[in-house]
Amino acid sequence: MSSFCVDKFHLSTKNSTQQKVPPVDKNFQALTSSSKRRHINLKMPDKRFAAAPENLNLNCAGEPDTLEPHMRNSIQENDILIWIYNMIDEAARVDFEFFLKDGCILCKLMNRIKPGCIPEDTITWEGARSKQINIRNFLQQAEAYGVAKAKLFHLEDLLHLRHIPRVTRCIYALAKLEQIVT
């Protein structure tokens, strides 16, 4: 039988039904054994706390998404920034996500790809509402141009910087599609 020591307790790797339990502080025992403690039924879930859906990571098509928010691809982000510069002559002076956050660059990009698809007077960077409108206009026009719904990102992914890899995937798909079309 092999055994190892953790703190003051000896735990063995032998399969046995008897487990060694760490000693409990007597003050803690007094608190937990009082008659005033609240009894909680562990078998029945508390209805005040709704269970979260198992898979919250869904793409715009409602399918499970393999991308996670931490899975950023700096090479694709750089390629996109270079492509944007070549398309609309706008250089990024800040990080990738902050460069795109207000949606103006994306709207200008769509207007370069598909002239007149987003009216110039609607593209503005003043206020949160205009950012939402810009991003929503871009998403509608990108889908109309042919970007698959599964490749699009949610409005909140860019507006609140929640899921930048989805934004990258969408713009990268748009760039590939634009290069195929032209």
CA atoms within 13 A on the CB side of 76: 17
Q: Count CA atoms within 13 Å of residue 127 on its CB side.
A: 5
How much is the pLDDT for 71?
A: 86
SS3 for 140?
Answer: helix
Query: Are the C-beta atoms of 149 and 127 separated by less than 8 Å?
Result: no
- The answer to whether 164 touches 156, Cβ cutoff 8 Å, is no
Q: Which two tokens stand for residue 87?
A: 């398309």
Same domain, 84 and 173: yes
Give the domain extent around 20: 3-32
Q: What is the pLDDT of residues 104-139, one digit of tens each?
A: 999 999 999 999 999 888 888 788 889 999 999 999
Asked if residue 114 is part of any domain, the answer here is yes
Position 56 scores a pLDDT of 63
pLDDT at 66 exceeding the cut of 90: no
Question: Is 48 inside any structural domain?
Answer: no
pLDDT band at 23 (very low <50, low <70, confident <90, very high): low
CATH number, domain with residue 104: 1.10.418.10
Instruction: State the pLDDT at residue 8.
Output: 43
Asked whether residue 11 falls in the same domain as residue 101, the answer is no
Cα distance between residue 37 and residue 100, in whole Å: 54
pTM attached to this predicted model = 0.66
Over residues 69-80, the pLDDT tens digits come to 788 999 999 999
Mean pLDDT throughout 163-178? 95
* pLDDT score of 180 more than 50: yes
Report the relative pairing of strands 3-6 and 9-12 from DSSP bridges. Answer: antiparallel
**Do 107 and 170 reside in the same domain of the chain?**
yes
In tens, the pLDDT along 46-55 reads: 444 444 444 4
Beta bridge pairs of residue 9: 6
In a domain, 153, yes or no: yes
The domain total for the chain is 2
